Amino acid sequence: MLHVNIVKTLPEFTLNAQFSVHDEILVLFGPSGSGKTTILNCVAGLIHPDSGSIHLSDQVFYDHAHNIKLPTKNRNIGYVFQDYALFPHMTVEQNIRYGLKQMPPAVLQELLQTVGIDQLLSKYPHQLSGGQKQRVALVRALATEPQILLLDEPLSALDADTRRQCQDELLRIHEKWRIPILLVTHDREEAERLGDIMLTNKDGCFFHETKNRACSYPS
């Protein structure tokens, strides 16, 4: 279980976030600039809150009272950034294998087939469509066998049909992997379709709005 209870002062407001998530998809919903990505970056250890704590199961990521700030490399987190952050000089296969743990080849192959990029391993990022880049970034994040997956508006740049397909793939992956997923979006339809839990921003505070996604897992 991930438990977050943090305060972070931003230029426009003070961000307060308090929530817990088990093996569910938790959606951080709200307009741009409301602090959604800041929460992901605090969980990942890319920035630190001003106070509070972040725990994943029995591992302490951050604890202000005890001056604990676990380095990002020790948090076993998969992170898909909004711009995907693929290495342009590496092929799809090289991007995926960057930092790869000892994932069994059969498991990796199944993951590649699930998102439909098993035929793209020799391509470079500039040769890929937006949807293909998103899938590569997702597989790269999962190939490290993370305990939690962070997704920062990974579908925002995709057309409607591709976005729907990627939503289905994400739901199938979550059904199989059953790890906590934190998803940032400003699209309410997407939030309601994917989220088991949805947190909405109001005046710098994220509060629980609803639970249970609007649809079941795709077949």
Predicted pLDDT at 83: 86
Predicted pLDDT at 49: 97
- How many whole angstroms separate alpha carbon 117 and alpha carbon 111? 9
Q: Which residues of 83-114 are buried (b: 16+ CB within 10 A; e: fewer)?
A: ebebeeeebbeebbeeeeeebeeeebeebbeb
Supply 116's token pair: 């439909």
Q: What are the boundaries of each domain within the chain? A: 2-211
Positions of the chain with pLDDT under 50: none
pLDDT digits (tens, 9 = 90+) for 87-143: 999 999 889 888 676 667 777 787 788 788 888 999 999 999 888 898 899 888 888
**Average pLDDT for the chain:** 87
Closest among 150, 146, 158, 219 to 190, alpha carbons compared:
158
Predicted pLDDT at 161: 87
The CATH number of the domain covering residues in 2-211: 3.40.50.300
